[in-house]
Chain A
């Protein structure tokens, strides 16, 4: 148990030391401690993974956090197959991002602060995945949200950055509102918030209903959907996706670690963790699948037309997270988490590659102003290309295997499954298209930026390129853990997850699997091909298309106006209520009028009296007199 405790504790210690002494003593050495801590956590995580592979599953409380009557919440760890793989994802990506940041954040005045927050984030994320009960999960959940808030708004002098941080936190609170109620519902119905108790007893709730606003609602469905609210917020699904694209205001390593590889996948992790609950509610499963598929398609269409390199990748993340939910919704939890695993590597690589480009372009984000970067930064180009091929789903690379597994299992998932399969396949084509749009616009063709920018173009330092190369290895090979039997693989990961996540039943035969695979490969290749025509061969086509379909283009360019919608139905009415109704009318006029009616009269009387007498003791005496007055008036009233 001790070595497990160290996994989150090392980064926490690094955070504490860096935040307390970083400014005065440690300064630009802050990365040493932070990297050492996360390296230690990584090593311990690998050891843990090996132990779990050998069949050892641990579920142990460390101390009891909160006890109130029958309500008991503890801090404790559940270390099973799902946790083990998450430990690897979190610590490995975190380690590489730490190293990358040494180069990327070099010379920033908040250098120590940056590493302190990264350590705090790593701690929080580890507590989240290690939790053996809902309240600790909630703790990690909110704590990673806090770190995200700090890191998005890292350059707090910028209004846009501090706005984005705040927005991320508040939007997530909407999701957590449901999540919190879900935790409470679980406690009230099952009497415990420990995973073991929940999963053991959830079956007893089958068929029970609860009256909600006059409707009879299936209890398990309600619980599952409440929990899913939290996942929708954290993993940026419709309708709470609006915070993630704005979160790109944060430093790019943060986007890679928090807003691509780890934190945003917490929602998927949670749904997978609660698969015994979700699986008992077909309605909830349907909601998860449809939400995921819709978000996936929705975000992919937005990504088609954006020009900000980080925002394109951010929408791509939203889309891929939708893919994972799609998987969970058809019961393919293992495939969802497998995609989470491969996505972590290729998406972190895309972000860090984008960071490398920004580094060379002095912060430029617009891909229309780039071009021909391939010859200036070969390492960035080749690694970015690998990541793009991987996300597009080109056979042999990580993304292909996990995406294929999801599509295949969705295809087998009944009516809902067939619908989301079709949507997912469409998304696969779009993904290939917009991913290669970046490649062709940014790395090929002629440079379209200023002369000064061109003069400065350079490959990034080794501390940045080495993590890129290591992640590229992951982006290629992470999928090899889950090569399906049809392809002649052992599907190690599927078997590994089986005790926790199960495996959906597959009716169709291998011929159909080849067909599904063939369609998705055709989509990927087709997407890349069209992208090549649009952005390399005949670059005037996109402009003509945008002009021809102006309405569609405007809607996509403005991200379906969701931000504007929320502003006018939530933000403005709340402010109006506060500023124009509650303050001047209810508080200012009605309550003050009624409650103060008598005292005001007396106070006015007092004001006049004060002109005769001055000094504070007299005031007091006056008030005493008023008190007596009221007493007498009461007597008269009762008479």
Chain B
């Protein structure tokens, strides 16, 4: 590759968004086709990242580095390793599906909608590729804006409340992270270079404070218990594409943050806090699953199931061993595929019935047989049936979690029982039993909708049957990370860290 491939996949959609912005509002078809074309091209462009990826090294690949603001030693530097490359691909793939699923359902402000979608794509890829902390923060905050608009403008009846809640939650977290970033900058010889930070040993006290500062931002995003309550509202009110992006990519950024910053930069603090994180994860798994049992709204149920599934992800990550981490990362991808798929499915049926209440459904398998068949695939993947991707992730996580803490591993495994209960009950109430009169007369999903779901279905089975394609990509990077987080640190205690932070804020 002799062109800057990462910059291309970041800025092509952003330029596309600008292009759409200058188009005429009336030429709706052109806008949609442009958005689709750009998202497909971007996906095709991102494929070489995967096929040309060197699996033998943990170093950053496809790197780019240009001086940006030399006064503050800020660089425009990009790169991907075996962990982030998977998320770049997931982002480019899901964006296509978001465009196609919105094809007929977004009828107002079409122009702005697709522009926002492409802006989100560019900035989220930017988050995954940045190797400069300042650049990372820019992208991190940048994607908040179009996401906020997506929920607030094209969302459901209670969208404004949900959007503000989403925004405030994430903003509070981000602010603390910004403080943390500046402290890091000052302690790394005035550098924002993430790779340099990963090689620096910070004092333990500083690490602890920074850990919590970053934790605020990442935990909200994941979302971890008990800062999860924005998610059900945001998901419920967001348009389908918004829910897919939220579930598929946005909430992964929290977990990605733990992987990229907390663990390699603050290894000792991570080690010290891992038990607490595991406890929070297990609470999320069980709490999220039990609360699903009582849900009466389709999207709310899937949203709470995300809390439970992301609990698995963070459990795997904070097990701090190879299986747990690989399982956790794979489960992030899986969750993007499966929950993304479920939200796409719900969006499709909502376009027909205009209701999210579970009681309004029933007997859908008779009315929408193809839809029912595709929905069951995601349902089974969600409950971790072997042969689907969900099993591989959950199994490795429970294995990793169990080897780190028997009690945590055991408790987390109860999540698979409750998970089966709420998902199969949901499926029964929507698809089985006598046909609800409100379901009569709807047409089964069409070719566009089938094609929207098909790539995810393929991935469900691909990862389920041959996960090594993906496990091997991340293998070396994860091994490197495990080694780093378990490396002995400085252990010397430096006072006045709090003082330092206050100075920074001033």
Question: A residues touching B (Cβ–Cβ < 8 Å)?
Answer: 19, 23, 63-69, 71, 135, 138-139, 142-143, 146, 149, 153, 156-159, 162-163, 166, 169-170, 173-174, 176-177, 180-181, 184, 187-188, 212, 574-575, 577-579, 582-583, 586-587, 591-592, 594-596, 599, 602-603, 606, 616, 619-620, 623, 626-627, 630-631, 634-635, 638-639
Contact = CB atoms under 8 A, between A and B. Distances in A.
Which of A67, A173, A579, A630 gathers the greatest number of chain B CB atoms within 10 Å?
A: A173
Given A174-B417, A184-B409, A603-B164, A166 B424 contact: yes
A623 B147 CA distance: 14
B424 A169 contact: yes
Interface in B148-173: 148-149, 152-153, 160-161, 163-165, 167-169, 171-172
B291 A582 contact: yes
B466 A65 contact: yes
B392 interface: yes
B392 A591 contact: no
Contact of B501 (A163, A188, A638): A638
Contacts of B413: 177, 180-181
Interface string B28-51: 000000000000000000000000
Contacts of B431: 156
Interface in B211-239: 226-229
Contacts of A163: 428
Given A138-B386, A574-B293, A603-B165, A184 B175 contact: no
B396 interface: yes
A474 B268 CA distance: 67
A630 B172 contact: yes
A570 to B, nearest CB: 10
Contact of B467 (A66, A174, A583, A626): A66
A239 to B, nearest CB: 15
B71 to A, nearest CB: 23
Interface in B292-311: 292-294
Contacts of A177: 413-414, 416-417
Contacts of B148: 620, 623
A10 B448 CA distance: 32
Given A578-B290, A583-B291, A583-B294, 12 more contacts: A143-B387, A159-B433, A166-B425, A181-B409, A574-B293, A591-B228, A594-B226, A616-B153, A623-B164, A631-B175, A634-B175, A638-B501
A558 to B, nearest CB: 24
Given A146-B385, A575-B294, A23 B369 contact: yes
A579 B294 contact: yes
Contacts of B163: 619
B467 A65 contact: yes
Contacts of A67: 468, 471-472
Contacts of B161: 603
Contact of B168 (A173, A603, A616): A603
Which of A66, A177, A630 gathers the greatest number of chain B CB atoms within 10 Å?
A: A66
29 contacts: A66-B471, A68-B322, A68-B323, A68-B326, A68-B475, A139-B387, A143-B385, A156-B433, A157-B366, A157-B434, A159-B433, A162-B428, A163-B428, A173-B416, A173-B420, A177-B416, A180-B413, A188-B403, A575-B294, A582-B287, A583-B291, A595-B226, A603-B161, A619-B160, A630-B175, A635-B505, A638-B502, A638-B505, A639-B502
Nearest to B293: A578
B434 A184 contact: no
Which of A159, A578, A591, A630 gathers the greatest number of chain B CB atoms within 10 Å?
A: A578
Given A162-B432, A635-B505, A595 B229 contact: yes
A342 B418 CA distance: 37
B398 interface: yes
A188 B433 contact: no
A66 B365 contact: no
Interface in B452-479: 465-468, 471-472, 475, 479
Contacts of B418: 574
Interface in B355-377: 363, 365-366, 369, 373
B226 A591 contact: yes
Given A620-B145, A635-B505, A71 B399 contact: yes
A249 to B, nearest CB: 12
A577 B175 contact: no
B185 interface: no
B246 interface: no
Contacts of B410: 181
Which of B326, B406, B502 gathers the greatest number of chain A CB atoms within 10 Å?
A: B406
A192 to B, nearest CB: 13
A603 B163 CA distance: 11
Given A142-B385, A575-B293, A578-B291, A68 B327 contact: yes
B227 A595 contact: yes
A180 B391 CA distance: 11
Nearest to B152: A616
Shortest beta-carbon contacts, A-B, top 6: A578-B294, A162-B432, A69-B322, A579-B294, A139-B386, A156-B432
B337 interface: no
Given A23-B369, A157-B363, A599-B169, A173 B326 contact: no
B506 interface: yes
B183 interface: no
Contacts of B172: 599, 630
Contact of A587 (B149, B291, B322): B291
A159 B160 CA distance: 39
A610 to B, nearest CB: 8
B395 interface: yes
A164 to B, nearest CB: 11
B386 A143 contact: yes
A444 B161 CA distance: 72
B62 interface: no
B392 to A, nearest CB: 6
Contacts of A602: 168
Contacts of A176: 416
Nearest to B288: A582
Contacts of A157: 363, 366, 432-435
A156 B175 contact: no
Nearest to A606: B164
B51 to A, nearest CB: 20
B289 to A, nearest CB: 9
B281 to A, nearest CB: 17
Contact of B171 (A162, A173, A188, A623): A623
A157 B168 CA distance: 45
A627 B175 contact: yes
B100 to A, nearest CB: 22
Contacts of B228: 591
Nearest to A631: B175
B416 A623 contact: no
B402 interface: yes
B326 A623 contact: no
Contacts of A603: 161, 164-165, 168
A450 to B, nearest CB: 26
B304 to A, nearest CB: 9
Contacts of B292: 578
B229 A591 contact: yes
Interface in B409-455: 409-410, 413-414, 416-418, 420-421, 424-425, 428, 431-435
Nearest to B421: A170
A575 B418 CA distance: 11
Nearest to A599: B168
A635 B413 CA distance: 43
Contacts of A174: 417
B496 to A, nearest CB: 13
B380 interface: yes
Contacts of B145: 620
A126 B294 CA distance: 38
Nearest to A71: B323
A574 B287 CA distance: 11
Contacts of A212: 406
Nearest to B167: A623
